[in-house]
Amino acid sequence: MVEENTEVVDRLYKCAKCGAIPPMIHEKDDKTKPLIMGSGLSTMYAKKLVCGRCGYEWSKN
Ligand SMILES: [Zn+2]
């Protein structure tokens, strides 16, 4: 059973490469994955996670 709870999930993010956990893990816009591109709207991007220790990047979803 998996419950969707972003507050909890946020704490589970962990770098697959070096094992760093928040607050070493940062969330950034993935500019290669625009979600919404419309006139009059600012572009929304998918989020990606970046390890502040080793620089490893991975998709949030
Ligand atoms: Zn790392």
Q: Is 49 exposed, middle or buried (0-12, 13-18, 19+ CB in 10 A)?
A: buried
Half-sphere exposure of 13 toward its Cβ, with a 13 Å CA cutoff?
23
Three-class secondary structure of residue 51 per DSSP: strand
Distance 12 CA to ligand 1 centre (A): 14
Q: Are 6 and 13 in contact (CB under 8 A)?
A: no
Domain of residue 35, residue span: 6-14+24-59
As for how many domains the chain has, the answer is 1
1 domain residue, yes or no? no
34 domain residue, yes or no? yes
What pLDDT, on the 0 to 100 scale, is given for residue 9?
47
37 domain residue, yes or no? yes
Distance 53 CA to ligand 1 centre (A): 5
50 domain residue, yes or no? yes
48 domain residue, yes or no? yes
Distance 7 CA to ligand 1 centre (A): 21
**Cβ neighbours, 10 Å, residue 50:** 17
pLDDT tens string for the chain (61 positions)? 555 544 444 557 899 999 999 989 999 999 999 887 777 878 888 999 999 999 999 997 6
19 domain residue, yes or no? no
